[in-house]
Amino acid sequence: MGTPLRAGAAVLSAVLLAALGAAPRAVAASDAPAIVVQDGVTQPVFGYADAIRERLFIDSTFDSDNDGLRDIIAFDLMRPAATANGLKVPVIMDASPYYSTVCRGNESECKADLDGDGLLDRWPLFYDNYFVPRGYAVILLDMVGTNNSTGCPTTNANQDNLSAKQAINWLNGRATARNAAGQVVTADWHNGKSGMIGKSYDGSLAMATAVTGVKGLTTVVPISGPTEYYDYVRSNGVVTRGNSYVASLANTVTNPERRDYCKPVRDAMAAADGDEHGDYTAFWNERSYVKKVPNMTASVLLYHGLNDDNVRPDHFSKFWYALAENNIPRKLWLSQEGHVDPFDSRRAVWVSTLHRWFDFWLHGVANGIMDEPRVDLERAADVWETHADWPIPGKADTEVFLQPGTTGAGGLKLVPTAKPATGAFQDSRTQSQNTMILNPDTVQPNRLAFLSAPLTAPLHISGTPTVQLRASADQTDTNFGAILVDYGTDERVAHRASGEGIITLTTEDCWGLNSPTDDGCYKQTAKRVATADYELVTKGIMDAQNRQSIRTAVPLVVGESYNFTFPLLPEDYVFKPGHRIGVIIVASYPQYSSQADTTAANITVALKSSKIVLPVVGGTTAAHAAGL
């Protein structure tokens, strides 16, 4: 039937009942409750409706609203009833600022106390329904300044970042929690291991907690979360989300009745965020997780959409590269969608993977998950591949040089043009992305376009492309933008359409057990696809004054040539035979940036010294074979 980690007749009976569709019975004191492992995974042998539910409060170590009192962090906890009779279980935690405002998941579920007893009746997402019956506790923690926690949100500053650490410390006996009556509550049922999971802001909180190196946090599963908040609102000196976006997000996640109270905290952030220049300042240090990866002891299962235009893919890539440099145990999923949860992209496989991941890291089940390929990657709609690592082993940075054109677009070749040549265009702060990309063979005054010949074999890029330009301008400041385009008709995931690549259906499926007020049933989804003549593969921008550093802006000297090097967003993409690779060079890029340059500079690019460096799987040999 199964292999119990500790034998117990009641548990084996519960397995039989579960197999027959009956609810597991209560575990008696003499039955020595234990998890049950069958087919390599924990089984749902514990109840859900009878699970213990608590709301607890911890005095934090910080004072985000500067009222002279330490903030109180609130969290809701659910654990199997058998934990009152000796069962030791790990914790799965989703720390979030969204539980009472934006809410969670594709169906925007909020926390809900329906009967007013101070305990949750409706728990967002499926983690409680699925994992509590399998011998886990689940914590949904309210980030500082949100829902039942006091203080004010600080948009990924230390107070936000340390919110979940308070609960990890409590679970391991290093902090004190109380219930609503003020009674001290201990976690004597905890087995010492915890995992964190969450999408977007929740994912950033998981990583923020992990990089503190807090003892007891064993694994994290960040889903499409920001890792460098500078990169969320800036890119290489250019403001991509301005008008005090950091303060605006803090306002969004604050309970409406506390927004006026928290206005001074938001005003202080708005005054310090550097919207006026876009440079990297000390404001961003505490909002940076990549540089703190060496502190980590937790393993990582990382997920990101390659076409996420909210939390862009450079967030996952920089974090992933740092994990590799520090030999952190890790796995990666990359999908073709935008800002979409894997539960709504590849549901059954994701739940199975998550189950096995938590079983291995939190319950110590020897299921072989770490012996499997490190990377799952979606190549086309619902077509998944596995790889040993990412970037794909065998990739090599390959220089592709910009070539002069005669009447239309310039070319792309593996060698520079034989003679010096230039291309010139004028910055347009209003030029649309479509105007930049469409009709690449037509000369336009506000861009330069370069096209390869039709490819004779597939060309696979995997990693982070960079653009290297040698250019001058007739103004002391300008921006640069670059777009990598696949010109060729194909059916692709429609990640820029409504749903960011998915369609929400009316049918449901269920994941876990139910109570009278909470089920684990969610609307199913399907991929949204579309056929188009081109695909924007990736893009990048920079402020020319930040050519030496994102920390310091240095004005250009009019007419003087400089080297400008900046990355595009990471990608894993296959250009098909017959398609053409396009590189578009612009100045201001308003659909990527809220800060178009105002100088309308005239820009001259020295083509012999300008190129795009592509991370080609197979390197120059593969590029030659494709006809570059």
The model's pLDDT over 340-378, given as tens digits with 9 standing for 90+, comes to 999 999 999 999 999 999 999 999 999 999 999 999 999
Q: What is the CATH number of the domain that holds 457?
A: 2.60.120.260
Where b means 16+ CB within 10 Å and e means fewer, 69-93 reads eebbbbbbbbbbbbbebebbbbbbb
- Domain end among 387, 413, 428: 387
> Do residues 403 and 377 share a domain?
no
pLDDT of residue 21: 36
What is the Cα–Cα distance from 522 to 344, expressed in whole angstroms?
A: 9
Q: DSSP 3-state assignment of 2?
A: coil
Residue 422 maps to a domain:
yes
pTM passes above 0.75: yes
* DSSP-derived secondary structure letter, 241: S
Catalytic pick among 231, 308, 314, 543: 308
In a domain, residue 371? The reply is yes
| Residue 627 buriedness (CB in 10 A; 0-12 / 13-18 / 19+) | middle
Instruction: Judge whether 372 and 349 are in contact, CB under 8 Å.
Output: no
Residue 370 sits in the same domain as residue 451: no
- Rounded CA-CA distance 501/344 in Å is 10
Q: What is the pLDDT of residue 18?
A: 35
Spell out, as residue ranges, where the chain has pLDDT lower than 70. 1-31, 596
Beta strands in 39-136 (DSSP E): 41-42, 52-59, 72-79, 89-96
248 assigned to active site: no
Q: 406 and 313, same structural domain?
A: no
Task: Sort 545 into a burial class: Cβ within 10 Å, 0-12 / 13-18 / 19+.
Answer: buried
| Co-location of 308 and 445 in the same domain | no
Same-domain check for residues 383 and 418: no
Which pLDDT score, from 0 to 100, does residue 31 have? 65
Domain boundary among 387, 414, 445: 387
Is 308 an annotated catalytic residue? yes
CATH number of the domain that 104 lies in? Answer: 3.40.50.1820
Domain boundary residue, one of 371, 387, 403: 387
Q: Are residues 343 and 252 both part of a single domain?
A: yes
- Range 201-220 burial, b when 16+ CB lie within 10 A, else e: bbbbbbbbbbbbebebbbbb
CB 228 within 8 A of CB 287: yes
- pLDDT score recorded for residue 260: 97
- In this structure, the answer to whether residues 298 and 416 fall within a common structural domain is no
Q: In this structure, is the dihedral angle defined by the CA atoms of residues 291, 355, 136 and 117, taken in order, positive or negative?
A: positive
* Residues 552, 589 within the same domain: yes
The answer as to whether 17 is a domain residue is: no
Predicted pLDDT of residue 6: 34
Distance CA 97, CA 143 (A): 5
Two tokens, residue 430:
């209003």
Does a structural domain hold residue 546?
Answer: yes
Domain count, the chain: 2
Inside any domain, residue 269: yes
Mean pLDDT over each residue of the chain, to the nearest integer: 94
Q: Is residue 32 in some structural domain?
A: no
**What are the φ and ψ backbone dihedral angles of 423, each rounded to 5 degrees?**
-130, 145
Distance in angstroms (rounded) separating the CA atoms of residues 118 and 504: 33
Strand 190-199 to 89-96 pairing: parallel
On whether both 334 and 454 belong to a single domain, the answer is no
Domain of residue 448, residue span: 395-626
Q: Which of 190, 304, 315, 339 is catalytic?
A: 339
Q: Are residues 557 and 581 in the same domain?
A: yes
Do 486 and 604 fall within a single domain?
A: yes
The residue ranges of DSSP E strands in 64-154, in sequence order, are 72-79, 89-96, 137-142
Residue 3 domain flag: no
Per the CB < 8 A criterion, the answer to whether 217 and 206 are in contact is no
User: What's the Cα-to-Cα distance from 18 to each of 25, 302, 557, rounded to whole Å?
Assistant: 10, 32, 75
Q: Do 314 and 429 have their domain in common?
A: no
Among 207, 212, 75, 90, CA closest to 143? 75
- Residue 21 inside a domain? The answer is no
| 470: CB partners within 8 A, 6+ apart | 561, 562, 563, 564, 605, 606, 608, 609, 610
Q: Is-catalytic flag, 387? A: no
User: For the chain, what is the radius of gyration of the CA atoms?
Assistant: 26
